A and B are shown apart, each in its own frame.
Chain A
């Protein structure tokens, strides 16, 4: 009998403890999510560096609300199921009062309802699919969205590359790449161009030759490939093998040193839309590039910049909220007006930041800043 009382007491005590939010912690606990392994692994590494750099800076300045910021990091492996698990873990187990991340739209879409239900604000870093913030008012993002990126890509292909015929290739299992291609197609057709091929491929395949042969048969001027870098590299190689000479155009999924490493000369003279360029002369960008290169001995890609921005936006909101209560942070987030590395961030009604995009060219195996396109 006595034993069962003890067990009951333990259960009651455990439940009571679990109701205590992160207010009771010595530190302000913030969750961080990114795909450290899997198809977008380099994105995850840069993202984690970006979070770490921002949090270290805040802590050096005395933290937030008079406490140190503790970043609890979790790897979502680029997998929605895994993402749902780690978002739940960060909220339930680690008692995070806000979550940074994640990178891939499909994974953020899995994590967003969890944050929304728990009333914990989250800020996705590079998830550009519009549906992500549509989940609810606790879900924000640090990057621009697919319609903007796809539209900019189409405008650039039509106006600057003088393309009349375009073909799109995308991953059918990935909301991000599908979304980008759909918005590219809509804009390109609206401008007066013709989309001669619109082909999906299965996730994880390495053989794109059948699709490429089919779309190249109608002689497109540009190939819009909205995939991530690993797929883009192989698509570029196989497209060259099948005799395609024109440029490939894509989105921020291309932004990885691995792209040129794998694709080599096949990707020369190709273009992609991105969130920021290292060559940007504004002091905030140069300061970030300097600090990041000193700490990690590598130059920051857009993923690192967005992660750094996401952490800064969130911590700034916590500071202005004056509390770690989810609703208070959410309210402060909505009123954000902050200059960060990737531009001046203000959230619109859909919690998307309003800011500009840049076009990057691959030249001599390097990413070269081409132009900035304002919204």
Chain B
């Protein structure tokens, strides 16, 4: 029993949770604004990982491995994730904005497959897994019985800084106010002079950038990237968002950490349970509290 809830397992779970949280935020923000489950979101995460991979090799020519290089790679991964999200919204979702919800949902699945297969088809990327470089030199710290690498600290710190920044943006700036207004009532927001399309683009940009950052962190932590790497983490982050209450930002973060720890502990109990626990959680949440922990009641069907 002690090896299931040992401090080391909790550290493993928090690290996984931080990555899920960054992905889940994008899901929940986009849902909050346009009421769309963006199934291509997991693939924005994959794009971020490849952007990090590419930019590392581009900049490692002039810069040694270390914090400065890691920062540039992070910015470029976020930029790539944000850019692909905005482009997807512009070309795939915007034309369907006022069509039935199902059209956008099916389009999202299509975009997801398009990104996965397009990436496998590009010769420079290809379908085989690639090893992700160690952008930061690895250091180990001992905390009691737990081994904590600097990667764990980086994962948690990047996730925390981004989440605090997002909360500040949404709660304290006029841009955030506009976002909240659009999520409540698009038509009323437009009457108040808010450029709704710009706010939606901005939401995709932030969500995509967070997924891109998660892609870099996942590459560092689980150093193998491939074009299909976004499917499962995307699905699990989506479940985390549903668990927290889709549309709710604190809910997504809490849900993601619960998912990360639940998955790690379930795997430690029995290695076959780990992959399934996410879906058990989804079923339980949908049966007992479909609106999630912080969710508002909604009659919408996915």
Enumerate chain A interface residues (CB-CB to B < 8 A).
Answer: 37-39, 41-42, 172, 199-202, 204-207, 209-211, 213-214, 217, 230, 233-234, 237-238, 241-243, 258, 261-264
Contacts and interface: CB of A to CB of B under 8 A. Distances in A.
A230 B224 contact: yes
Contacts of A211: 267-268, 271
Nearest first, the 4 closest Cβ-Cβ pairs linking A and B are: A262-B131, A206-B222, A210-B267, A41-B128
Nearest to A262: B131
B271 A37 contact: no
B140 A241 contact: yes
* Interface SS majority for chain A: helix
Nearest to B9: A213
Contacts of B250: none
Nearest to B152: A241
20 contacts: A37-B127, A42-B128, A202-B272, A205-B232, A205-B275, A207-B12, A207-B221, A209-B264, A210-B267, A210-B271, A211-B271, A213-B9, A214-B4, A214-B9, A214-B268, A234-B222, A237-B223, A241-B138, A241-B147, A241-B151
Interface residues of B, number: 39
A261 B275 CA distance: 28
Contacts of A238: 222
B129 A230 contact: yes
Interface of B: 2-4, 6, 8-9, 12, 15-16, 120, 126-131, 134, 138, 140, 147, 149, 151, 218, 221-224, 228-229, 232, 263-265, 267-268, 271-272, 274-275
Given A37-B128, A213-B9, A241-B140, A234 B268 contact: no
A233 B131 contact: yes
Nearest to A238: B222
A210 B9 contact: yes
B146 to A, nearest CB: 9
Nearest to A203: B275
B134 A264 contact: yes
Contacts of A172: 271-272
Given A237-B223, A242-B8, A243-B147, A207 B16 contact: yes
> Which of B4, B15, B131 has most chain A Cβ within 10 Å?
B131
Contacts of B131: 233, 258, 261-263
Contacts of B8: 213, 242
Given A37-B127, A241-B140, A241-B149, A210 B268 contact: yes
B274 A217 contact: no
Contacts of B126: 37
Nearest to B131: A262
Contacts of A261: 131
Given A211-B268, A214-B268, A241-B140, A204 B232 contact: yes
B96 to A, nearest CB: 32
Contact of B224 (A37, A209, A213, A262): A262
B272 A242 contact: no
B45 to A, nearest CB: 13
Contacts of A42: 128
Contact of A233 (B120, B149, B224, B229): B224
Contacts of B138: 241
Most chain A C-beta atoms within 10 Å of own C-beta, residue among B149, B222, B272: B222
A38 B128 contact: yes
A213 B12 CA distance: 9
A18 B147 CA distance: 64
A92 B140 CA distance: 58
